[in-house]
Structure 1
């Protein structure tokens, strides 16, 4: 039976910046319009975090059942390592996904934006069938696309919309940047696992692109958000605050393009998450100041 510490590891807490960052940016946009709703922002955060934890457990369950996680480098896999029964991990996944669904329904009922229920349903389906079902789309090279969409435009614009209505062009640009940085975290993970994924037939985008092209994809996904900050800064100077994260990006890009592998990519994963958090914080403040000015 898995210990509490192992269950916490299985939730992959280091990846939760992926769900925190878009809520920060969306809320920064809401502050800029003078329409901040702290309760709605908190509920949006609960939805994002609980759904991501549910996805992490669901991936552990589905990959573990397929044997994909039997020989992995990186965070503990509950099913793959044998410390937890698959059924227990599946139950945990469903419980967290249900918690996210309930928080989402509450948020929709308070804001009365009922059409968002359809968005929530798509998010739940996307969460489960990422690695679940007979034809998981993460095994077809679509994982990064889904992460970009759900942790970028959907999460950022959804957070902004429930607080302040239709988003501005600056918020849309910021949402694209968040999505790219979030996708870069997954690219790092899949780059590390190219060998083991290829052996078990998990055709991630990294497997399809190959090692070299995946490394350049990582560099592009990290770099483009800074270009977006520069372009947004031409319209509103405070948007340049996202560039505060630029120095943090130099080392991981060099290491990835330099060919680091295995456990060294685990460290890059942490660095990438920090880049996303700092860029998102700077961009959130920039949105607040840009739209107030």
Structure 2
């Protein structure tokens, strides 16, 4: 096999997934600005660590889905680097190890600066970081990938929602504030919606490969109901969050229109793949507009 070129690695990194991955970090930053505790070094390192973890996750997904048969010539979405032969399994595994090492270095730097040394909070977040790396790898790779058991939605909701928003806010505050729960749930619901579109698109090939995702379990009709539930959950949680915020502005309503539009588009489309990217971008727009509305 020829040595992969830079375009192959860029394709495998799937940079289009970064806006969604960064949404929870940016939400946490907006909440920190609202509370007057924002710090640029924490935000910068949080973004870097998130990017590294997301690329690690994308490499592991490419590697694992090819090994387990979910990525095949019958796949509807974009061709994967390992499945198409542009990058070998050995090369991808080495890249996964490399990204894991970079993630640890960046993550340790982040929590050291956030908490001012090796405190109890440092070791707590270090453990969460190791768990994040393990979750990114074992989603589709390994002997029993949990993504093949229909648990991917729970993982995305936790890491892109609850842990992403609450955890990033905690890096600024070193304390828990109950107000951050609602935007955390909203971000998690939208991120899970993105995964749901991905799994709805791949419902046939996933089923044939034994990857029992939510759409494979529920079927198309019930999956669309599930998708609408996620979108509406994000809207309801936003309203619940804002009822305790004084003097907010109404820019966030634009994102509600985009969220609802995605629901209609996915419901009417036989191939929802184009709306995966739009919901990911909508999630980022939602975070930015909500953030601007409260500061």
After TM superposition, the structure 1 = structure 2 runs for residues 210-221 of structure 1, keeping only pairs within 5 Å, are 210-221=219-230
The superposition leaves residues 170-208 of structure 1 with CA deviations (integer Å, 9 ceiling, x where unpaired) of: 222111111111111100000000000001111111111
Contact 1:55–1:97 (CA under 8 A) maintained in structure 2: no
Cross-structure match for 1:243: 253
Match of 2:14 in 1: 12
TM-score by length of structure 1 reads 0.92
Superposed displacement of residue 155, structure 1: 1.3
Q: How far does residue 76 in structure 1 lie from its aligned partner after superposition?
A: 3.0
The RMSD of aligned alpha carbons is: 1.5
Q: Where does 1:225-264 land on structure 2 (aligned, <5 Å)? A: 225-236=234-245, 237-238=247-248, 240-258=250-268, 260-262=269-271
Q: Tell me the TM-score normalized by structure 2.
A: 0.92
SS at match of 2:291: helix
Is 1:223 aligned to 2:232, yes or no?
yes
Structure 1 unaligned spans of 5+: none
Aligned partners of 2:283, 2:15: CA distance in 1, in Å? 15
2:104 paired residue among 94, 98, 101:
101
Aligned counterpart, 1:204:
213
Does 1:144 pair with 2:175? no
How many angstroms apart in 1 are the aligned matches of 2:75 and 2:198? 11
Alpha carbons 1:12, 1:75 under 8 Å: kept? no
Q: In 1, distance between residues paired with 2:20 and 2:280?
A: 8
Runs of 4+ in 1 over 6 A off after TM superposition: none
Question: Do residues 183 (structure 1) and 186 (structure 2) align?
Answer: no
SS in 2 for 1:139: helix
- How many residues matched? 285
User: Partner of 2:282 in structure 1?
Assistant: 275
Task: Determine the structure 2 residue equivalent to 1:41.
Answer: 43
Per-residue displacement from partner, 1:134-176 (whole Å, max 9, x unpaired)? 1110000000100000111111112111112224232221111
Segment drifting more, 196-205 vs 238-247: 238-247
Secondary structure of the corresponding residue to residue 36 of structure 1: coil
Using the TM superposition, name which of 132-141 and 232-241 deviates more.
Answer: 232-241
Report the secondary structure of 1:39's partner residue: helix
Match of 2:31 among 12, 29, 32: 29
